[in-house]
Amino acid sequence: MPITDYASLLRSARNQEQPQRLLFTFTQAQAQPGGQGKSLTPVMCADKLPEELGSFETLKEESKQMQTHWDVVFVAGLAGQHGQPPAPHDCEAPLRAMVTAIEQGRIDSLLAFDRSGDLLRFS
């Protein structure tokens, strides 16, 4: 199933053979020295079961509780085993790896959405 928007991401996660937990890393766009574009800096992370998620607007509203501005959210899936989703503590190392990948610009395996919920494509 191709992922074309946030709703199709949730449908895909809910339809996987093994239960999933979605990993979110929220980033801020910051100007590069010398005004040569912007970089995305991770500012907060979260993990959620697909069943805990509603619309993108709901995710955006929940993120406001953290009182940290973000511009782009990256998303990855983490599969469970034996019909059980990953436990929250199983997400710590993958979230750290995700943050490191974003900081190093290795984002080709991640989905990204802007604050409007639009799926972003990076080249």
| Count of structural domains within the chain | 1
Could you tell me if 50 and 20 are in contact, meaning their C-beta atoms sit under 8 angstroms apart?
yes
At 66 the pLDDT is 84
Q: Is residue 69 part of a domain?
A: yes
Q: Is residue 30 part of a domain?
A: yes
Question: In a 3-state reduction of DSSP, which class is residue 62?
Answer: helix
At 123 the pLDDT is 67
Q: Token pair for residue 121?
A: 């494509």
Q: Is residue 110 part of a domain?
A: yes
Structural domain boundaries enclosing 69: 6-120
At 104 the pLDDT is 93
Q: Per-residue pLDDT tens, the chain, 123 aa: give them.
A: 689 999 999 999 999 999 999 999 999 998 888 778 788 999 999 999 999 999 999 999 998 888 889 999 999 999 999 999 999 999 999 999 999 999 999 999 999 999 999 999 886
At 1 the pLDDT is 64
Q: How far apart are the first and last CA of the chain?
A: 22
Q: Is residue 1 part of a domain?
A: no
At 10 the pLDDT is 96
